C-alpha cells in the first residue's frame, strides 16, 4: 500500500462519550449522529470503554422488563477495549478484524485517544491502493 499505517487511514474526529453520562442521552447521541459505537472516556480523558449498539440493546431489554431505561454509560459499556496505535500496519488491523468480533478499534498514542479505525477505513485504504495500481 502507498501508506500502510493506521495514522493515515483512521478517523481523527471522533465522537466520544463520558463514562458518567446518562445512558439514554448517550444512546440518543449515537442514533442522532448515525454511529454504531463510540469510545468512552473518564473524567481525565482516558479511554475506559466503548459503548456499542449491542451495549445499548441491553438498555432496551432492561427498560422492556422494568419500564424505565436508566443508568450511566459506565453501567452498559464494554470496559477495557482493545486498542491499536497509529504506527501499526493497516494489514495488521485487517487481520484483527478478520479474526475478531470488533467493528472498530480506538487508536491510542501514548495512552491518549487520537482517532478510531473501522473496518470501512481499512477497506477504503485497500480501495485506494488498488485504484492507484490500476491507473499506473
Position 45 in a domain: yes
Over residues 32-84, the pLDDT tens digits come to 999 999 999 999 999 999 999 999 888 878 777 777 667 899 999 999 999 99
Which position has the higher pLDDT, 3 or 88? 88
pLDDT of res. 1: 44
Measure the CA–CA gap between 10 and 71, rounded to whole angstroms: 31
Q: Evaluate whether residue 57 is within a structural domain.
A: yes
Residue-wise pLDDT tens digits, 11-25? 999 999 999 999 999
Q: Is residue 124 part of a domain?
A: yes
Full domain range(s) for residue 79: 6-134
| pLDDT for 85 beyond 90 | yes
With CA atoms as reference, report the closest residue to 6 among 109, 97, 88, 101. 88
Q: Is residue 88 part of a domain?
A: yes
- 90 located within any domain: yes
Q: For the domain that residue 113 is a member of, what is the CATH number? A: 3.10.580.10
- What is the pLDDT at residue 136? 56
Specify if 53 maps to a domain: yes
Structurally, the chain folds into a number of domains equal to 1
C-alpha cell at 101: 468480533
pTM equals 0.85
Domain contains 1: no
Q: Is residue 38 part of a domain?
A: yes
pLDDT computed for residue 128 by the predictor: 79
Amino acid at each position: 500500500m502507498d501508506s500502510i499505517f493506521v495514522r493515515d487511514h483512521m478517523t481523527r474526529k471522533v465522537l466520544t462519550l463520558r463514562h458518567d453520562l446518562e445512558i439514554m442521552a448517550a444512546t440518543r447521541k449515537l442514533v442522532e449522529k448515525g454511529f454504531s459505537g463510540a469510545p468512552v472516556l473518564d473524567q481525565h480523558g482516558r479511554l475506559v470503554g466503548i459503548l456499542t449498539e449491542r451495549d445499548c440493546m441491553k438498555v432496551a431489554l432492561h427498560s422492556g422488563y422494568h419500564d424505565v431505561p436508566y443508568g450511566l454509560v459506565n453501567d452498559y459499556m464494554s470496559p477495557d477495549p482493545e486498542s491499536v496505535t497509529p504506527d501499526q500496519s493497516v494489514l495488521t488491523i485487517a487481520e484483527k478484524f478478520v479474526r475478531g468480533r470488533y467493528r472498530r478499534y480506538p487508536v491510542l498514542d501514548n495512552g491518549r485517544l487520537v482517532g478510531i479505525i473501522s473496518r470501512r477505513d481499512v477497506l477504503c485504504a485497500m480501495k485506494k491502493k488498488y485504484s492507484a495500481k490500476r491507473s499506473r
